Structure formats: structure tokens, C-alpha cells
Amino acid sequence: MVGRPVGFDLDLTLIDSRASILDSFRAVATGTGVALNIDEIEARLGLKLEDELAYWFDATEIGHTASLYRRHYVELARTSTAVMPGAHESLAAVAKSGMETVIITAKHELSVAPCLAATGLTPDRVFTLAHGPEKATILRRISASLYVGDTPADVQAACDAGIAAVGVTTGSFDADSLADAGADVILETLEDFPAWYTAFRAKT
């Protein structure tokens, strides 16, 4: 591979994992007896699991609860993870240009594997357990040219790394939220990415 890699978020950018995530939290609520507000959790999708659990559990309980969540998630993800429209085509467009496709996600590697298997997505590299500034650090380290994500934190990570920030409104955040975070371009869906990326490459 030559040139600068292209980074993508995973949840609600390349894959629709909303159902399996929320159902796993419901299972945690049932298993622990703690009343979790699923609407609040949904509004924060994109956080590391442990950071979300910190809203609901004491620090001493988070490790055990995270393991409980992942046991449910790994099973659910095999059958309830869907590929986002345009995801395959977007990775293919980057690969066709000779660039490396890189996923940078807050997910644990145990949770990423069944998602990729279910959707057939085949990135060149995957970085896990990264959110916000941690994503920016990785983007700088790999000399990425741009990052695509559905949350303001994703957009801010690209801005912090000094690269093009591409927002997609396929998650819990609208175009205004992504624009306020500093997105250079906002796409309604990844179906619009290949054409945009071709134009972006022509300019750079």
C-alpha cells in the first residue's frame, strides 16, 4: 500500500450494531438488577463500554459487568449486525485508490470479530479500545488522510489529528451536531462516500 491510510469508525458508521448493543445492555440490566436507562445509553453510543458502565456501576463492578455484557454481545452480534449501506463500496473505493483501510473503534477486539464476520467487511487494519483523543493519537501515528465517523467525538478526533473530518448522519447525531464539532463534510450515508472520496483524491 502507498499513500496515506483512510480511517473509519465502526459502530453506526460501517455497521448497524444498535440492536445488539442495546439488547446486551438490557441483558446486563436483567443480570445485575440495575435499572439502566436504554434511551440515555443510546444517546451516548460510541463511548467505550467501560466508560458507559461507569454511569451505572461502581468502579469495582465494571470489570465483571463488562464481561457480562460482552458474553451477550458476542452471541447477539453474529446474527443482528447489519452492514451500513455503502460500507463495502466505501472500503472498496479506498482500496482501489491504493490506500489502506483502517477501522478505529471503541469496541473491544472480542466484539469486533463477530461484527466483521457478520458483515463481510475486510479492512486492512483494526485498532480497538480507542475513543476521542485516543483516536486522534492513532490517526496521527498512522499518518491518516481522513477519518469517517458518526459522532462529534469522531469529528473532533480527526480535527485534533489535523486531517479531513467526514461526518455521516447514520448514528445518533444530526448534521448540525457534526458541523458544530468541525466536520469538513457531512454525508447522509456512506453511499455518498465513494464519489466524494474520488473528488477529495483529485484535489489532494
Separation in Å, CA 42 to CA 47, 162, 192? 10, 29, 25
What pLDDT score does 125 carry?
98
| Strand-pair partners of 168 | 187
pLDDT tens column, 51-83: 999 999 999 999 999 999 999 999 999 999 999
Work out the average pLDDT over 97-115. Answer: 96
Asked whether residue 203 carries a pLDDT value surpassing 90, the answer given is: no
Q: pLDDT tens digits, residue range 125-152?
A: 999 999 999 999 999 999 999 999 999 9
Q: How far apart are CA 140 and CA 145, in angstroms?
A: 9
**Contact (CB, 8 A) for 50 and 57:** no
The reported pLDDT for the residue numbered 204 is 79
Ordered domains of the chain (ranges, CATH)? 6-15+83-203 (3.40.50.1000), 18-80 (1.10.150)
